[in-house]
Amino acid sequence: MPARHRTALAAAFVAVLVLGPAAPALAAPGAGTRDAGAASIRAYQAPDAAALRAAIAGLPDEEGKEATAALVRVGGAGGGWRGSSGVAAFGSPRPALEHGRFRAGSTTKVFTAAVVLQLAAERRIDLDRPVQTYLPDLLPRTFDPVTVRQLLNHTSGIQPADGPGDTFEDAYAHRFDTVTPEETVASAVAKGPEFAPGAEQHYLNINYTVLGLLIEERTGHTYADEVARRVLRPLGLRHTSVPGTDPRIHGPHNRGYQSVANGDGGTELRDVTEWNSSSSWAAGDIISTTADLERFLTALFRGRVVPEPQLREMFTVPEGVRTHGSGEPAAYSAGLTRLELSDGTVVWGKSGGRYGYNTLIAATRDLSRTLVASVNGTDAKGQDMNRVIGDLTFAAFGR
């Protein structure tokens, strides 16, 4: 396949999963599509090991401009492939730890959505009921009723919360601060609604912060306890955790770095491994491994985590809804993102970005091809596509 086509495929997939649906996909996602059967058009053969090795080769480069390490697992009916590249710490000869733990970022939302949908299956939550009926003091009267489903698929109209500033330096200076979910919600709702509930789709962490509070209200337990009880322990995800206010990554892990400008006009890498992620909480707090995320992804798609019909919510994009700001068709479902490739193959997944760590989980609905990747990107929350993630996406799903 010509290089320009390879780049287009990778960029399209990662643009939706990493940057959000404002960037164009190869084929527009069909609103309201329910992938009830096999989602891959042609059966995948064995993974292209040479392409996957090439995607993660040469890490880190001399200055760590793109990434310092990568961990990859590809699976499916055609067989599997495992690989790692880079170093455990920049400047060290020690190779990257293949089973190392990392900050999984917004892949946390898939866990949160799974717990909410379990509660819906137990009739403890009604997806069509306004969240105000469960949490009556959370949203002021300036907000119209926001249903639980609208929180799940990012059509609530609640605006984003404010952070400590607009730059990495601002965030870094406050990296050990604890921010409660109540403080996050108060910051967001003080701005008033962005649009009427259900009118548009705007992917924002605030929706899942509210869902975390809903889980606690409906169960009487902490969000972390419910994720552990309902997902982590039943699936044996022994290396996955919700750290809360703890800034450390416990257990073996590869260090994370952010590229910052120095006084000489160049860049240097700043270690960002220790970070209190409480501001992300139910939207982006989880620490995991590629093996655990692969097990979770496979079990989820097979119906072992969320029962039918609730699982269909995760494979349904809201009908007739456009993306706020761009007008592109909606791409997010309950916890996942839908992308249709140029050959008609539909891929569902979720990306995550925390300083020092990019994560991607993705699969066809029938699990004929799965991809889980952790890349220690040195601009993990930047607007540009991480080259390693893009190349891995093409190598895994390209034809």
Residue ranges with strand state E in 302-369: 322-323, 337-340, 346-354, 357-364
- Of 75, 68, 127, the closest CA to residue 97 belongs to 68
Do the bridges between strand 200-201 and strand 322-323 make them parallel or antiparallel, or are there none, so unpaired?
parallel
Catalytic residue among 40, 85, 106, 288: 106
DSSP character at residue 319: T
Tell me, yes or no, if 351 is annotated catalytic: no
Cα(334)–Cα(7) distance, rounded to whole angstroms?
28
The strand ranges marked E within the chain are 67-75, 81-86, 102-103, 200-201, 257-261, 267-271, 287-288, 322-323, 337-340, 346-354, 357-364, 370-377
Cβ neighbourhood burial of 339 (10 Å; 0-12, 13-18, 19+): buried
> Is 222 within 8 Å of 194 (Cβ atoms)?
no
Q: H-helix or E-strand containing 369?
A: none
DSSP H/E element including 210: helix 205-219
Rg (CA), the chain: 20
Catalytic residue numbers, as ranges: 106
